[in-house]
Amino acid sequence: MGWLRNYRGALDQFGLRDPHFERDAAAWTQWASEHGWTYQAEAPELVGRYKPVYRFGAEVCRHLLTTQLHGLHTIAFEHRRYAHGGNSGEGINSLVAVIVLQLPGLPPEEFVKMGAAKTVRKLGGSVPHNYDLDLVGDELVARRASRLDSKWLQTDAELLALQIAAVPGSFWRPVSERLTTP
């Protein structure tokens, strides 16, 4: 458990420890059990997985929620980052809510080149408000500059999953080695 002590120490050092963390963890635990999701308070294994690891500063992934929506493995979590400002002494603090859906396969190459948002629209779907979309292998990653919020999480994740599930199976290319998400 030494890694956990070091992880928590880094959070304290860079001011990433949220004073409301325990309260939020209790609320997410209850919400998850009521809505068919599982909950994990801290998810250090996700740091750097959907964005590059930053050279300076610290980052943390927390409030990991996991479920199946329309047959798709789905996770959601908060990503918080603090970066030093160098000589200015000022830092950058960012908080992003992330939803990741495991796709049934890889999109055709021409769709990958178009980007995730254009692909969703070309297939007749829509992108939930305030999200940036990326395709990472056989996963659709949706990012929103905010905390995770139970008011929109279920709706937005359902919308994305429903649109993916509606795409004909012949659209997807096989995945020879599927990445696994926690």
Is there a domain that residue 179 lies in? no
Q: How many domains does the chain have?
A: 1
Is there a domain that residue 180 lies in? no
Q: CA 52, CA 165: separation in Å to the nearest integer?
A: 29
Q: CA 104, CA 82: separation in Å to the nearest integer?
A: 34
Is there a domain that residue 162 lies in? yes
Q: What is the pLDDT along the chain (182 residues), one digit of tens a residue?
A: 444 444 555 555 555 556 678 888 999 999 999 999 999 999 999 988 877 555 666 788 999 999 999 999 999 999 988 776 666 556 667 889 999 999 999 999 888 888 888 888 888 888 888 899 999 889 999 999 999 999 899 999 999 999 999 999 999 988 874 444 44
pTM of the predicted model as reported, rounded to 2 decimal places: 0.81
Is there a domain that residue 57 lies in? yes
- The residue segments making up the domain with residue 9 are 2-171
